[in-house]
Chain A
Amino acid sequence: MRDVSIVGIGSTPFGRHAGTPIEQLGVQAAVEALMDAGIDRSRIGALYLGNFISGPLNGKEVLAGIVADQLGLPNIPCTKVEGACASGGIAFRHAWLAIASGQCDAALVVGVETMTHAPTAQTTAALNCAMDNENDGPSGLTFPGLFGLAWRIHADRYGTTREQVSAVVKKNKANGLLNPLAQMGATLTDEQIAASASICDPLQLYDCCPASDGAAALVLVASDRLSGTQGLPIDILAAVQTRGSPRIGGHPDLCSFDATVSAARRAYEMAGITPRDVDVVELHDCFSVAEIVDSEDLGLVPRGEGAIWAVEGRTAVGGQIPINPSGGLLAKGHPVGATGVGQLYEVVRQLRGTHPNQVRDAEIGMTHNLGGAGVACTVSLLRRPA
């Protein structure tokens, strides 16, 4: 397998782009990434596009081919990949794999979603397609509900409180204020969070990420084919994808995701590093409690202490392990298929040293993207060359 580098990044702001055709957002991010890389388009050998629900919400499929046509790319394989909220991370891994295996020397990754134009009921119904609608759907369970279940167990097992979980919300919303791409940065108080509408106990409104539109893109090139590109190439140390159970009953622990645990283990092994070596992380905080569970599953924080670490500021920029300096899904937004690619965009900026909420001297960064009820997961490790 060959080494692969990220040489170009692009992103639209995450937020409301109602009225903008979905392919336009994808093309906008892709052009930015191609210009950033300085690469000739004729060198792009494959396009992988992460998207979840362009069919039900936009009446558009074959989105990878549509974006490639707009970009005037050569007659290359163009593939849309779907893994619910992990679609973007999976698209990235496939592009990495195509280059690492020698199938092509350069590839374009795009993640894109538009959601805010659709009525909430339609969006909810489309998102719920990622649930096991044979076993879990009939109970009336929702995705926030899934994390309500996780929170109850965390509270029961470790004594985690509303105020402790609010520390995650406050941190990510504050981080979002520093990120011009973020949809919903805010300065929040414990009182405001505790007074927000109850969605599914114990989750309240501020514990949930917003619906978002947006796109992000990356250009990947074989590390021995970097001539003709510009800027600091960021090395991909690991790109791992795993599966977990699609149904609640298949999860032995409702307060942990097998797919995350195994993806992280393989990623550390592949990169030859330990969790202590990670300087910055963008992880899948679709809900406040998800950040707590994820940080423990990734081995970054001791089991049961995810909330306490947030309270103590250890996961803030300047802390022991900065988590979601971009604002995360909670504040930056969650245009589903774009999220995993957006996380990589953020980590590349951190490793280039050009992030608006910079972690000092960040050398190794991690991304974690989780789909469905934990059915699909990707974990990636990136490094700034010495």
Chain B
Amino acid sequence: MSEAHDTPMLAMVRCAACGRVDTPRRVVCSACLSHQLESIAISGEGLIASFTTIRRAPTQFRDRAPYDVVVVDLDSGLRVTGRLDPQSVPAAVGAGVRLISVQGSDTVFAVSQT
């Protein structure tokens, strides 16, 4: 129980009409146009599709630079963008990652140690 409680999850939406799972900022379901989008939480585990190290950052992220942005193919089939924890082992295409924190829109992943 406590383990499930501590594991960060990603907020998504599921269409009550057709079942499509999508990113949380959808206004309507893009498959069937239903407004009945239910908030759900899904696992933040997946594989790195690609990554890049941002050295010239936009103003609001300048204090953080350099930082890695990762595109993650979640086990659920969705593809999301987040950043890599600076303490993580280095990213590689195809490496397994897990979500380690979500604060608002700031989604942070770390490469899974195996």
Contact = CB atoms under 8 A, between A and B. Distances in A.
B106 A148 contact: no
Interface string A121-162: 100110010000011111111101100111111001000000
A145 B54 contact: yes
B10 to A, nearest CB: 12
A140 B50 contact: no
Interface string B23-36: 10100000000000
A103 interface: no
B89 interface: no
B108 to A, nearest CB: 9
Contact of B58 (A125, A153, A198): A125
A141 B57 CA distance: 8
A66 interface: no
Interface residues of A, number: 35
Interface residues of B, number: 32
A134 B70 CA distance: 16
Contacts of B104: 138
**Prevailing SS type, chain A contact patch:** helix
A139 B56 contact: no
Contacts of A152: 50-52, 93
A144 B56 contact: yes
A142 B56 contact: yes
B46 to A, nearest CB: 12
B88 interface: no
Given A152-B93, A199-B56, A249 B23 contact: yes
Interface in B40-66: 49-59, 61, 64-65
A248 interface: yes
Contacts of B54: 140-142, 145, 148, 200
Contact of B56 (A138, A153, A200, A251): A200
A201 interface: yes
A128 B58 contact: yes
Contact of A135 (B50, B59, B81, B94): B81
Given A139-B81, A249-B81, A199 B50 contact: no
A254 B50 contact: yes
A249 B65 CA distance: 23
A339 B10 CA distance: 39
B17 interface: no
B49 A141 contact: no
B14 interface: no
A144 B80 CA distance: 18
B52 A140 contact: no
A121 to B, nearest CB: 5
A136 B54 CA distance: 14
A50 to B, nearest CB: 25
Interface in B75-105: 78-83, 93-94, 104-105
A249 B78 contact: yes
B51 A200 contact: no
A203 B53 CA distance: 9
Nearest to B49: A254
B58 A199 contact: no
Interface of A: 121, 124-125, 128, 134-142, 144-145, 148-153, 156, 197-203, 247-251, 254
| Among all A-B residue pairs, the 9 with the closest Cβ atoms | A148-B52, A138-B105, A140-B61, A249-B79, A201-B53, A149-B50, A134-B25, A156-B93, A152-B50
Given A140-B54, A141-B69, 15 more contacts: A134-B25, A140-B57, A140-B65, A141-B54, A142-B58, A148-B52, A148-B53, A153-B49, A153-B50, A156-B50, A197-B55, A201-B52, A203-B52, A250-B79, A251-B79
20 contacts: A128-B58, A134-B105, A136-B81, A137-B105, A138-B104, A139-B70, A141-B54, A144-B56, A145-B52, A149-B51, A149-B52, A152-B50, A156-B50, A200-B53, A200-B55, A201-B55, A249-B71, A249-B80, A251-B79, A254-B49
